[in-house]
Amino acid sequence: MEEHKSALIAMSGGVDSSAAAYLMLSAGYRCQGATMRLLRGDDGRNAADAEAVCQRLGIPFTALDMAAEFEKAVIEKFVRVYQAGGTPNPCVDCNRRMKFSHLLEAAEAAGLYYVATGHYARADRDPETGRRLLKKALDLQKDQSYFLYTLTQDQLARVQFPLGGMEKRRVRELAESLGFVNARRRDSQDVCFIPDGDYGAFIEAWTGQPFPAGDFLDREGRVVGRHRGAVRYTLGQRKGLGLAMGEPVYVCGKDMAAGTVTVGPESALYAREILVEDLNWISIEGLDAPLRAGAKTRSRQAEQAAELFPEAGGRVRVVFDRTQRAVTPGQAAVFYDGDSVVGGGTITEVFKEDGYGL
């Protein structure tokens, strides 16, 4: 319908969201650009680049100050999960708690129907069930559906992903041809609020509490060295341990209460079974019987064949056909049927092949 030919464009200041704005405008939508200011004291470059693109396209632009909400919904959870020994995924939380909820509210306030983003994914509709679908991007190297599994049916009905059918190189070529200031800007690779990647230093600064040094333990509980604070180590880590044990060892467990980090051989990292909570289902209403699916526990891995079993309290037990390396509590497990996202949730328990759980 004509009243639906309008969109708020979520603009990060990068090339993808800029190209998305052009494509929506070219498709006949009435558009407005919007940048969410998520960090206190940022240099304003993202908003300035986004505004410059909007001026070139001749569409209005607005900046939304969401720093306080971002700290509460994303940063504080990130710190809390790390303190508990998990490894959170702040990009998933940002999409769930910030971007799509707040941007849809901003679109409605501006009299706009859709929110369009520069994500590499596709939104569709199942003609048989009528359910809204989230699908992988055609450029599988850039696919971001893993980070979007929390989208609800209502949100998917109001979201558009104009880049879902494009290759990244074509997006850059388009931006260059349009003279966008950010056409060659590098993609962000780090957590936006920790650009140097030093999670431990960030958490210590945020909380004002240094994490004490403690013992490295082997799998039998014997002290084999000293670490610089358990929060600084992640499951599967090999580099930077400073241990000479005659063979490579990896972080395979942490006890935050005791302040210990357990190390062991690579074989200690493998598991076939995990427990997942806080589920969001997309292609199905819910899980009431075992289901075969592909499952990802990291964004860049190919999905792995698995069986999903419903558990009490809405949880799901995932049993993989083959053992998986370094599956980490706090991360997302996302389930696929071909190129469609079935659903996903947060990994809360990992059951190791040798009985050593996380």
Catalytic residues: 94, 192
- H/E segment holding residue 334: strand 332-337
Is residue 253 within 8 Å of residue 236, measured between CB atoms?
no
* Torsions phi, psi for 80 (to 5 deg): -60, -45
What is the rounded CA–CA span in Å between residue 113 and residue 161? 14
Tokens found for residue 11: 């603009």
What is the rounded CA–CA span in Å between residue 249 and residue 318? 27
**Cβ-based neighbour number of residue 182 at 10 Å:** 23
Helices 15-26 & 45-57, crossing angle to 10 degrees? Answer: 20
What is the rounded CA–CA span in Å between residue 102 and residue 96? 10
What 3-state DSSP class applies to 331?
A: coil
**Which amino acid, one-letter code, is at 137?**
A
242 CB-side CA count, 13 A: 8
Q: Residue with structure tokens 């964004």?
A: 299
What 3-state DSSP class applies to 3?
A: helix
Tokens found for residue 257: 């209460």
What is the rounded CA–CA span in Å between residue 90 and residue 85? 15
What is the rounded CA–CA span in Å between residue 147 and residue 331? 11
Mode of pairing for the β-strands spanning 61-65 and 30-37 = parallel
- H/E segment holding residue 26: helix 15-26
Tokens found for residue 323: 């053992």
